[in-house]
A and B are shown apart, each in its own frame.
Chain A
Amino acid sequence: MKRKELILHLIGEVSNYLLENNPKRLVISLHQEEDGLHLSVLDDNPHSDEEIEKIDHALNSKKRPELAGYYGAMTGHDMLGASRLKLLGWQVKHCDVSRTRNGIMIDIWLGGDRFESDQFTIPRKEQK
């Protein structure tokens, strides 16, 4: 899959999740490097601690190559029905879910073995 298609599918799935609660504002920020990428998606809806924990659990679930390589193709593609963040979680390197003033921010890092998110020009520590 081309990188552009992969990014589109990632954005599609995570946006699908956040749009289910009909936010007034949804901001998508993408930063790309040769070895990886950082995707940030913010909304302005209230989310409970329990929900944030569920999102974090789904996005940081154990890597499942047998499911990611096959069912991962549905990520951000098949939108009839609820979004499935686990499809993302099986494929990405790391995710963070944090509260913002009005809503939440979902940070997703994706890349090869050489990829280190801290080497990004927008490092994680500056995001918080």
Chain B
Amino acid sequence: MFSFIITGIAADGAAAAFGGFLDIQFQPARLISDFMSTSGIGASFINAAAVGAVGLILIVLSKVQLSGSTFAAIFTMMGFALFGKTPVNIIPIIIGVYISGKLIGKSFSEYIIIALFGTALGPLVSLVTCELGLSGLSAIAVGTIAGMATGFLLPAIAVAMLHFHQGYNLYNLGLSCGFFALFAAALIRTGGHTFEGLLLWHTEDSVILTFLVPVLSLILILTGLFSGGRRSLKDLMAIQKHSGRLPSDFMDMESMEGALLNAGLIGLAGSLYILLIGGDFNGPTIGGLLTIMGFGAFGTHLRNSWPVVLGVILATLLFGKSLTAPGAILAAIFCTTLAPLAGAFGILTGLIAGFIHLVLVHQTGSWQGGMNLYNNGFAGGLTAAFIVSVIAWYRSKESGFK
């Protein structure tokens, strides 16, 4: 977080970075709104640090240990704060999740994962506040109430969605938030609002942006190697053998050092892919890389990821799309949400999952009005449920009795 603040100030200067940070709080944040494009690199990094701080404070207050799941949550929150999450649009959702837990006698620590990842619907709060024609305090009040209502309903949906794909979609809150956003978007459309497509995509080359994730990855790798020595390498190899199905906390199943090493390698591999295809390093792509690094401690590893990524690449090329187009590049990064399918059912299943994912993810964004930032988690969840249904059906062909 400190490195993000320092990077932000170094990029644009303190005055511009903090001024832009305030500006970000009341902007439309729907997909794809790269804050680097609207408010500058510095402001985006300050916003990411602030959102990460909110998550970390909640983890400390709820006395939950820092583990694979919370590591993934913080990295994801900071990543998506480069293109959609702000402290202002996530806090009402977190409050809603808290109230929901209170109602059924659950402590906040039991719902903290839902609260942290559920902030994917931050743009819904921003939309109600900034885009529906409301003004002043009434806009803020209605936006806050909408966010709290969203958070209140998320735990019920999140648990149901887990059963839908049986843990084979890592970004379960992506599916949950997408499911909720379908209803919210329908309601808003019925009220007369038209969702204008957004594509704010930062394209300027920057040394800071290009080397940020590789440097972070190297720091994680060196931390893992120096603190764990040979054991971290052994644990890294052991991690590659897990399917990654939810919940696979690699820090708990193997070791923190092995998980850090895995996260760092994933960050390097993702950065290398973007460099090789000549893609942009900007808010969404860096956010994506931070997310998959986070999930390097909670389900994603190189062995279960490559078949899904290859499936996305093949589908992109087959349909004549550019690998560097925003939708395709984000799908190639975030499709690792389906890595457990390859981990559990093999390379071919992973390839098919990646292929279907690419086809679906181009549609799901407009279905939910761009309000769910984890659009790839939404498409991934539908893809996983589809594939799991077919596998379960096929396995039911015989009971084993003669």
A residues in contact (CB < 8 Å) with B = 61-62, 64-71, 73-74, 77-78, 80-82, 84, 87
Q: Is B110 located at the chain interface by the 8 A CB criterion?
A: yes
Taking CB atoms, residues of chain B closer than 8 Å to A68 are 110
Of the listed residues A62, A74, A77, the one surrounded by the most CB atoms of chain B closer than 10 A to its CB is: A74
What residue of chain A has the Cβ atom nearest to residue B111's Cβ? A69
Q: Which of B64, B162, B243 contacts A65 (CB 8 A)?
A: B64
Cross-chain contact B109 with A71 (CB below 8 angstroms): no
The answer to whether A70 and B113 have CB atoms under 8 Å apart is yes
Q: Which residues of B contact A65 (CB under 8 A)?
A: 64, 107, 109-110
The contact sample of 17 A-B pairs, CB cut-off 8 A, is A66-B62, A66-B69, A67-B69, A67-B247, A67-B249, A69-B107, A69-B109, A69-B111, A70-B114, A70-B162, A71-B246, A71-B247, A74-B246, A78-B163, A80-B391, A80-B392, A87-B247
B395 touching A80, Cβ below 8 Å: yes
| New A-B pairs, 17, CB < 8 Å, besides A73-B163, A87-B247 | A66-B62, A66-B109, A66-B113, A67-B249, A68-B110, A69-B106, A70-B158, A74-B162, A74-B163, A77-B163, A78-B166, A78-B167, A80-B166, A81-B166, A81-B167, A81-B168, A84-B245
Bound form: Cα–Cα A62–B245 in Å: 20
SS of B interface (majority):
helix
A-B interface, 3 closest residue pairs, ranked by CB to CB distance from nearest: A69-B110, A78-B166, A71-B247
- Across the interface, do B110 and A66 meet the contact criterion of CB distance under 8 Å? yes
The interface centre, meaning the residue of A65, A77, A84, A87 with most chain B CB atoms within 10 A of its CB, is A65
B110 and A74 form a contact (CB under 8 A): no
Residues of B within 8 A of A67 (CB): 69, 113, 247, 249
| Residue B344, interface by CB 8 Å | yes
B87-128 vs A, CB cutoff 8 Å, 1 = contact: the mask equals 000000000000000000011011111100000000000000
Q: How far is the CB of A4 from chain B (nearest CB, A)?
A: 17
Determine how close the nearest CB of chain B comes to the CB of A62; give it in whole angstroms: 8
Residue in chain B with minimal CB distance to A69: B110
Q: Does B159 contact A (CB under 8 A)?
A: yes
A66, chain B: closest CB distance, angstroms? 5
Give the docked Cα–Cα distance between A69 and B105 (Å): 11
Within 8 A of A (CB), among B60-74: 62, 64-65, 67, 69-70
A68-B110, A74-B246 are known contacts. Are A81 and B163 too (CB-CB below 8 A)?
no
| Separation of A61 and B392 alpha carbons in the complex (Å) | 30
Contacts of B110 in A (CB 8 A): 65-66, 68-70
Q: How far is B167's CA from A48's CA once the two chains are assembled, in angstroms?
A: 29
Residue on B nearest A1 in the bound complex, by CB: B104
- Closest B residue to A71 by beta carbon equals B247
Is B388 an interface residue, CB under 8 A from the partner?
yes
Which of B64, B155, B158 is within 8 Å of A66, CB to CB?
Answer: B64
Residues of B within 8 A of A73 (CB): 159, 162-163
A70 surroundings in chain B (CB, below 8 A): 110-111, 113-114, 155, 158-159, 162
Interface string of B147-158 (1 = CB under 8 A from A): 000000001001
- Give the complex CA separation of A82 and B252 in angstroms: 18
Query: Max chain A CB contacts within 10 Å: which of B166, B391, B395?
Result: B166
Contacts of B106 in A (CB 8 A): 69
Q: How far is the CA of A121 from the CA of B262 in the complex (A)?
A: 49
**Neighbouring A residues of B162 by C-beta, 8 Å:** 70-71, 73-74, 78
For residue A80, which residues in chain B have a CB less than 8 angstroms away from its CB? Answer: 166, 388, 391-392, 395
- What are the residues of chain A within 8 A of B249 when measuring CB–CB? 67
Q: Is B388's CB under 8 angstroms from A66's CB?
A: no
- Which of chain B's residues has its CB closest to A58's CB? B253
Q: Which of B362-402 contact A (CB under 8 A)?
A: 388, 391-392, 395
Chain A min CB distance to B189 (Å): 31
**Which B residues are CB-close (under 8 A) to A78?**
162-163, 166-167
Q: Establish whether residues A74 and B107, one from each chain, have CB atoms under 8 Å apart when the complex forms.
A: no
Q: Whole-angstrom distance from the CB of A18 to the nearest CB of chain B?
A: 16
